[in-house]
Amino acid sequence: MPNHHESIDMPGRVNKVDLHTHSTYSDGSYTPAGIVETASDIGLKAVSLTDHDTIGGIGEALAAAGGLKQPLLFIPGVEISATYKCTLHVLGYFRPDNYSGIDAMLDDMRRERHIRNLKVIYKLNGLGIRITAEEVAEIAGKEIFGRPHIAAALVRRGVAQNIPAAFNEYLAGGRKAYVGKKSIPPEDCARAIAATGGLPVLAHPSQTGMKLSDIYDLAKSLIACGLFGIEAYHPEHTPAETANFEKLAGSLNLAATGGSDFHGGYRPHTGLGAGRGNNLRVPDAVPEKLLDALSRNT
């Protein structure tokens, strides 16, 4: 397990909620238990694990939360890739006793993700970079790995100076070894989450690159598919964007949620519960709103 306080910005902490984190089950460097234990250590009151296209780490995180001396609210979650006019993501939040129903849809997505990553490695091999799926899986610690793990393999072999450099030269969109990913419409993501008793939330809307009016139209259309909220609070949102997304959520009677999008050492400038430079501010009441809505879902 990585050092619990790696990449954690402790001084001046006021935020107590982080509903967007990633573990070793997708593209983070902390184990699920490491995220939960670190969240407790730094004084968070609520945390969610939202790995990409998998709920594989939820059981471990729940067990860790149950063994803590200090109470910590853990909310099972997931982040699903979707395609609209651009690539975007839909978060899903679930009750601890009712999260496994989403796994049938995720199984197909994980299979596609794995095929995509094998194609990336094949492209790298074609460039004369002889990394293997086995060594990347060893770095990831899991059978299904992601691009950050491929980037780490490139750094280990001396092909790239660091992970950002590996993405910039080989793995980011349009770069030498980039392979596009197959995803599904956001309507299908939201419906699948809602159908299993979960709450769909539109993740980090600023990263879609869409105009605010287009984000409004998308969110409005997803309400019929069960959309519960918009991730208004995110480290990459400017204060103006955060205010706009809060207003947008309010105008559609949607919840405004938030989280750090923590990836541990793969994004060393983003701290758990802190964001970038301690800029994350998720209202303390957000987890209670989620719990209340989840309790009414069947």
| Residue 135: partners with Cβ closer than 8 Å, 6 or more residues away | 153, 156
Q: How far is the C-alpha of 227 from the C-alpha of 193, rounded, in Å?
A: 9
Whether residue 231 is contained in a domain is answered as: yes
| Residue 229: partners with Cβ closer than 8 Å, 6 or more residues away | 199, 201, 202, 249, 254, 255, 256, 257
Average pLDDT over every residue of 222-231: 98
Task: List the strands of the sheet with 46-49, edge to edge.
Answer: 17-18, 46-49, 73-83, 87-93, 199-202, 229-233, 255-258
pLDDT at 91: 98
- The lowest-confidence range among 36-50, 134-148, 203-217, 239-253 is 134-148
Which has the higher per-residue pLDDT, 72 or 3?
Answer: 72
Structural domain for 49, as ranges:
17-100+198-296
Residue 219 φ then ψ, to 5°: -60, -40
pLDDT at 108: 83
Whether residue 87 is contained in a domain is answered as: yes
Whether residue 204 is contained in a domain is answered as: yes
Whether residue 192 is contained in a domain is answered as: no
Count of domains in the chain?
1
pLDDT at 64 over 80: yes
pLDDT at 9 over 70: no
Whether residue 186 is contained in a domain is answered as: no
Q: 3-state DSSP call for residue 271?
A: strand
Q: Angle at the Cα of 51 (from 243 to 4), degrees rounded to 5?
A: 90
Average pLDDT over every residue of 26-36: 94
The residues that bridge with 270 in the sheet, in sequence order, are: none
* Cα dihedral sign, 170-171-175-176: positive
Instruction: Please tell me the pTM assigned to this model.
Output: 0.85
Q: 3-state DSSP call for residue 192?
A: helix
Say which CATH number the domain at 268 has: 3.20.20.140
pLDDT at 93 over 80: yes
Whether residue 124 is contained in a domain is answered as: no
Whether residue 60 is contained in a domain is answered as: yes
Average pLDDT over every residue of 59-81: 95
Average pLDDT over every residue of 35-61: 96
Q: How far is the C-alpha of 196 from the C-alpha of 178, rounded, in Å?
A: 33
Percentage, residues of the chain above pLDDT 70:
94
pLDDT at 5: 43
Whether residue 1 is contained in a domain is answered as: no
Residue 127 φ then ψ, to 5°: -90, 5
